[in-house]
Amino acid sequence: MLTRIDHIGIACFDLDRTVEFYRATYGFEVFHTEVNEEQGVREAMLKINDTSDGGASYLQLLEPTREDSAVGKWLAKNGEGVHHIAFGTADVDADAEAVRDKGVRVLYDEPRRGSMGSRITFLHPKDCHGVLTELVTSAPPADQEH
């Protein structure tokens, strides 16, 4: 069962400049940064609030590390802006299978490693009214990488 909006992913050309905008404009601070070589992105997670299920909601700022990454291609076509929405779930495997059973294409056969040690998968935007949708199971707090 989906429990929250985990994060909204925003593609950007300059991560440092975009982080500074969100810090200066809204007061959001960086909670976590990392480079995900598999996905070809450098990212910053800005924590918005904690949630009742023990998780949190974030803005995820994504800068491509290479032009051929999914985010790099998306930026070249669309420019900066909202890239995807991610819903939190206690069990990404079960929820991905339940959605797949309803005819929605799940982009990964098995969930992959996401930000802060999470497990993730994506749903095809053509099956989700044009919205790239991510399902996320957060790592247990002791295992989260800051």
Catalytic sites, residue numbers: 7, 43, 60, 84, 134
The answer to whether 60 touches 7, Cβ cutoff 8 Å, is yes
Q: How far is CA 51 from CA 48, 58, 96, 123, in A?
A: 10, 11, 22, 23
Q: How far is CA 52 from CA 4, 5, 19, 56, 60, in A?
A: 9, 12, 26, 8, 20
